[in-house]
Amino acid sequence: QKEVEQDPGPLSVPEGAIVSLNCTYSNSAFQYFMWYRQYSRKGPELLMYTYSSGNKEDGRFTAQVDKSSKYISLFIRDSQPSDSATYLCAMSGTGGFKTIFGAGTRLFVKA
């Protein structure tokens, strides 16, 4: 079993839709939960990160962490064609610098 599971998609939605992206994990030692966005032929860029449990909001993006279920989510409101990219979840613990990445979900937002 992989430490981090993420549905690869692709996920196709119409412009304006609410998008929900999810990851599950198995290691209860993870404390930092990140979401990266990667456009085609570019390196990933950090969108948001959360420490421990709870929600975090930044503009149209909301990150949620449910440590009891080992489940994290990223919601995108009012999705735009410019949101079309691959979204990677990532996690790390407090014992070192190693980060585990999900395989990424490919999102298409149709105009």
Partner 1 sequence: DVKVTQSSRYLVKRTGEKVFLECVQDMDHENMFWYRQDPGLGLRLIYFSYDVKMKEKGDIPEGYSVSREKKERFSLILESASTNQTSMYLCASSSGRAEQYFGPGTRLTVT
Min separation Cβ 18 and partner 1, Å: 25
Min separation Cβ 96 and partner 1, Å: 8
Nearest 5°: CA angle at 16, between 107 and 33?
50
**Beta-bridge partners for 4:** 25
Contact call for residue 71 and partner 1 (CB under 8 A): no
**Beta-bridge partners for 91:** 33, 100
Exactly one of 14, 43, 69, 111 binds partner 1 (CB under 8 A); which one? 43
Contact call for residue 72 and partner 1 (CB under 8 A): no
Contact call for residue 103 and partner 1 (CB under 8 A): yes
Map residue 20 onto helix, strand or coil. Answer: strand
Contact call for residue 99 and partner 1 (CB under 8 A): yes
Map residue 47 onto helix, strand or coil. Answer: strand
b/e code 38-53 from CB counts within 10 Å (16+ = b): eeeeeebeebbbbeee
Contacts to partner 1 by CB under 8 A: 6, 8, 31-32, 34, 36, 41-46, 49, 51, 88, 90, 92-94, 96-99, 101-104
